[in-house]
């Protein structure tokens, strides 16, 4: 799947918001995986890496560190 050229439709939202999180769907080893990326979070240090997650019966479940490519993510 192709990454978007910008983080917003009009091209201005990422400049006026205090936080910007994108949810993505990408293919990994022939399987679709969900991930999220925190582009910006005002006055907060945050990871600049993609984080795999799944939607389970209890809601959103983040993949454990070091388990990014496992079946559970």
What pTM value is reported for the model?
0.61
Q: How far apart are CA 27 and CA 30, in angstroms?
A: 6
Average pLDDT over residues 31-52: 89
Average pLDDT over residues 45-69: 84
Instruction: Look at the block and give the residue holding tokens 């009009």.
Output: 10
pLDDT score, position 34: 95
3-state helix/strand/coil string of 48-60: CCCEEEEEECCEE
HSE-CB for 53 with a 13 A CA cutoff: 17
């Amino acid at each position: 799947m192709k990454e978007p050229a910008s983080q917003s439709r009009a091209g201005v939202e990422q400049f006026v918001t205090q936080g910007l999180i994108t949810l993505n769907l990408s293919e990994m080893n022939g399987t679709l995986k969900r991930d999220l990326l925190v582009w910006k979070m005002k006055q907060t240090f945050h990871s600049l890496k993609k984080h795999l997650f799944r939607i389970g019966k209890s809601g959103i479940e983040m993949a454990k560190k070091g388990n990014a490519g496992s079946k559970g993510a």
